[in-house]
A and B are shown apart, each in its own frame.
Chain A
Amino acid sequence: MKSQGAGAAAPRTGNQRKSAGRAAGYWSEVWRRYRKSRLGVLALLMVVFLGLVAAGAPFIAGTRPIACRYQGNWYFPCLYYYNQRWENPVLIREGFRRSPYPQRLREKDPRSIAIWPLFYADPYRRVEEGEWPGRPRDTGPSPPRLRNPFGTDDLGRDVLARMVHGTSIALLVGFVAMGIAALIGLVVGGLAGYFGGWVDVVLSRLIELVMAVPPIILILALIAILERPTIWHTMAVIGCTRWESIARYARGEFLRLKETEFITAARALGASAPRIMFRHMLPNALAPVVVALTFGIAGAILIESGLSFLGLGGDPSAPSWGRILNEGFPSLGGDSPQWWLILFPGLGIFTAVLVYNLVGDTFQEASDPRLRGSSR
């Protein structure tokens, strides 16, 4: 272990808190080992890239300016893509919803300035003739071409724009679903492991029950009951059915930790049960749970894509990757297969699932206590 020579010289007051973070803890040790795997780092970069694409989708593809100066004021019409209500009421009053921005801006305020996204294309509609100077009407379906790098679908909508905007759906499903799953899994697994006895018996049977039900069937059944399923229902259902591996890891960790001397020591020093569970055991139980969580995110993305592919993913206009696949699927048997509607979203799903699994794998190896201290 590296000694913290620099930290030692720091003055005692004020600086103390800051330098405390510099001492090499468990997580920095895990990170040190994680970095050694080139594939793992690459996958992590890809995860970050996907996250940036998801968060910045309107900056990459859209038909609304990222920012525009209109009649002396600055507006950010791209916020519309995050939430329709975030579009400035002034712009709505000025009729920007009826005709597209480039045209309207030119007509109403010739001196206006606008900063446009990388691609002028909309995930929800096709681009019309004359909307953008010199750009013809987007027809569909069309294979990839210069102005539609990933092609267009039946309705002439740009596949790249749809995929970029669909990234946030895929990731959101992964994170929200696994957030719910982590909460349930940690509570169930933690209680089972901590208390043992009949609590463990009951909760373990519950875990096995959830494990035994094929999730896709359960999800189909639950979605069938709902009148108007949305993407949030899908997330909730995945979260409520895919927590069993997290619970099993958490249970194992709590069982192991319960017997460790530092937990007995904490008890002997008068710590209460919740304090022992949350402050002493939980941080020590986290590493395997994070691994299960990463795999779970990949799994949730896959399930959501599958559901959307089957046409059960909620809002049909939402540009989910699975739905794009679904739109291209019928053409596959015909004379002119729309391969771009299969290839690009397929690659998107494949990449997302792969990189999350790779990150999980690498993290598992890096955090494995059996390898702790070995200089791999």
Chain B
Amino acid sequence: MSGSGDAGGRATASGTVTARGEILLEVRDLHVHFFTESGAVRAVDGVTFQVERGRTLGLVGESGCGKSVTALSILGLVPRPGRIVGGSVKLEGRDLLALGEREMRGVRGSRIAMIFQEPMTSLNPVYAVGSQISEAIRAHRRVSKGEARDRAIDLLRRVKIPVPERRAREYPHQMSGGMRQRVMIAMALAASPSLLIADEPTTALDVTIQAQIMDLLQELQAELGMSILLITHNLALVAEVADDIAVMYASKIVEQGPAREVFTSPLHPYTHGLLHSIPRPGMSRKEKLRVIPGAVPNPLAFPSGCKFHPRCPAREGLCESSEPELLEARPGRAAACHLVRDGVGPLKETP
């Protein structure tokens, strides 16, 4: 993914041409509202990003900023009382939001697959894992039960589960968390999707297992050439595996660009603050960890202007009245901040 447009000008980042690769998924100006009794909650408020074929986009943000809802909207699975009220989601140029439920079912699992945060609860407890994978296969392909079973065992082997013939017959509660997440990945790969959405895939796992799962995902990506949309609040994880990064704050994307560049020179004060709040090895004990003051705004009552301005150390008068758009700041980089000038953010110090 990338912000785009003419290299020099301040074109909006939602332009479609990119310098690097073919765009697989394009989300443009997506709005999702939850109609609650206390009013419409703007869970996703004009989100725009692109995922390129074969690459990994890390979608980063705090809890409740709209990451997961964005992911579910791509699959057309926004839970009630939420509704997609505007924007488009295009997969290989086809608008998914215009598809009927039947066609959408054909997309889910076969073109776009998703894995979830809690491997403990995302498998059906009453079926053996092998038959769950077989079912995912048979949902999209007309194959015999025997073939599906063989392929399921094959997939389990592929996600590096030892003795897959035996494991296929086990039930979810007989497996460890890491094992179950592998099973979920195997299920997701059943129909060789071109996009895998991974919603906090390692949050519920311990650190060594996290690394194993991420390695596995990267390996499979290289092997199968699929794109990954990695949704997480874990910056370290994104730094390691994502090619591109999109930072979300209060239902909007505030900064996007190639992961390495975003990490070395954040443009948006929010990204800047996030990166400074990560403890680093070699920090002296007296040095206090910096925090972003304040709290995430209530989506029922977003502040006027830039949603980040009450917490922003660099805010100016303009920030309180007008909401900045996500604009290209320099080639491949975009930020939604009034104070980004000449491709440089307001907070200079690098982490």
Residues in A lying within 8 Å of B, measured CB to CB: 1, 3-4, 7-8, 12, 16, 19-20, 23-26, 196-197, 260-262, 264-272, 275, 279-280, 283-284
Checking A1, A12, A26, A272 against B125 with a beta-carbon cut-off of 8 angstroms, the contacting residue is: A26
A residues near B121, Cβ cutoff 8 Å: 260-262
B178 CB → nearest A CB, Å: 17
B108 near A24 (CB under 8 angstroms)?
no
A23 touches B174 (CB 8 A): yes
A25's nearest neighbour on chain B, judged by CB, is B171
Q: Can you spell out 18 A-B residue pairs with CB atoms less than 8 angstroms apart? A: A4-B166, A16-B165, A20-B130, A20-B131, A23-B174, A261-B118, A262-B125, A265-B115, A265-B116, A267-B75, A268-B75, A268-B113, A269-B108, A269-B109, A269-B113, A270-B108, A271-B139, A272-B105
> How many residues on B have C-beta within 8 angstroms of the other chain's C-beta atoms?
44
Residues of A within 8 A of B139 (CB): 269-271, 275
Top 4 A-B residue pairs of the complex, sorted by shortest distance between their CB atoms: A270-B109, A269-B109, A270-B108, A268-B114
Give the chain A neighbours of B83 by CB distance below 8 A.
none
Chain B minimum-CB-distance residue to A281: B124
Give the complex CA separation of A280 and B121 in angstroms: 13
The reply to whether B116 and A261 contact each other, CB–CB distance below 8 Å, is: yes
Q: How far is the CA of A260 from the CA of B77 in the complex (A)?
A: 14
The answer to whether A8 and B163 touch across the interface, beta carbons within 8 angstroms, is yes
Chain A residues lying within 8 Å of B118, measured Cβ to Cβ, are 261
In the bound complex, how far is the Cα of B115 from the Cα of A261, in angstroms?
10
B188 and A269 contact, CB distance less than 8 A: yes
Q: Is B60 an interface residue (CB 8 A)?
A: no
A270 and B105 contacting across the interface, CB-CB below 8 Å: yes
Residues of the B chain whose Cβ atoms lie less than 8 Å from the Cβ of A284:
124-126
A270 near B106 with CB under 8 A, answer yes
**A4-B169, A7-B166, A23-B128 known; A270 and B174 CB under 8 Å?**
no
Which residues of chain B are within 8 angstroms of A1 by Cβ–Cβ distance? 173-174
CA distance A275 to B188 in the complex (A): 18
Cβ distance B228 to chain A, nearest Cβ, rounded Å: 15
Interface residues of B (CB under 8 A from A): 72, 75, 77, 80, 105-110, 113-118, 121-128, 130-131, 135-136, 139-140, 149, 163, 165-166, 169-171, 173-174, 184, 187-188, 190-191
Specify the chain A residue showing the minimal Cβ separation from B118: A261
Chain B binding surface, main DSSP class: loop
**Cross-chain contact B114 with A23 (CB below 8 angstroms):** no
Alpha-carbon distance between A23 and B191 when the two chains are bound, in angstroms: 27
Write the nearest CB–CB distance from A34 to chain B, whole angstroms. Answer: 17
The listed residue with most B CB atoms (<10 A of its CB), out of A24, A26, A197, A261, is A261
Query: Quick check: A264 and B188 within 8 Å, CB to CB?
Result: no
- A3 and B174 form a contact (CB under 8 A): yes
**Nearest chain A CB to B340's CB is how many angstroms away?**
36
Instruction: Contact check, B171 vs A23: say whether CB atoms are below 8 A apart.
Output: yes
Instruction: List, in ascending order, chain B residues with CB within 8 A of A19's CB.
Output: 169
Indicate if the CB atoms of A269 and B125 lie closer than 8 Å. no
Chain B residues with CB under 8 A of A269: 108-109, 113-114, 136, 139, 187-188, 190
How distant is B338 from chain A, measured CB to nearest CB, in Å? Answer: 38
In the bound complex, CA of A26 to CA of B124 (Å): 11
Question: Shortest beta-carbon distance, A148 to chain B, in Å?
Answer: 51
How many Å lie between the Cα of A264 and that of B105 in the bound state? Answer: 13
Write the nearest CB–CB distance from A336 to chain B, whole angstroms.
Answer: 59
CB distance from B159 to the nearest CB of A (A): 15
- With a cutoff of 8 Å between Cβ atoms, the chain B residues found around residue A272 in the complex are 105
Taking the closest CB of chain B, its distance from the CB of A18, in whole angstroms, is 11
Distance in Å from the Cβ of A161 to the closest Cβ of chain B?
45
A26 nearest in chain B by CB position: B126
B170, A268: Cβ atoms under 8 Å?
Answer: no
B169 and A265: CB pair below 8 A?
no
CB distance from A5 to the nearest CB of B (A): 9
Shortest distance from the beta carbon of B166 to any chain A beta carbon, whole Å? 4
Q: How far is the CB of B111 from chain A (nearest CB, A)?
A: 9
A22 (CB) vs chain B CBs: closest residue: B169
Q: Is the CB of B109 within 8 A of A26?
A: no
* Distance of A126 from chain B, by nearest CB (Å): 54
* Most chain A C-beta atoms within 10 Å of own C-beta, residue among B107, B116, B166: B166
Cα distance, A12 to B80, chains bound together (Å): 45
**Complex contact B169–A7 (CB within 8 A):** yes
Distance A260 CA – B114 CA, assembled complex (angstroms): 15
Known: A16-B149, A265-B123. 12 other contacts (CB 8 A): A1-B173, A4-B166, A7-B166, A19-B169, A23-B171, A24-B171, A26-B171, A260-B121, A262-B125, A267-B75, A268-B109, A270-B108
For A24, A267, A268, the residue with the greatest tally of chain B CB atoms inside 10 Å of its CB is: A268
- Cα distance A141–B107 when bound, in Å? 77
CA distance A4 to B128 in the complex (A): 13
Chain B residues within 8 Å of A271, by CB: 105, 109, 135, 139
B187 adjacent to A23 (CB under 8 Å): no
A8 contacts B108, C-beta separation under 8 Å = no
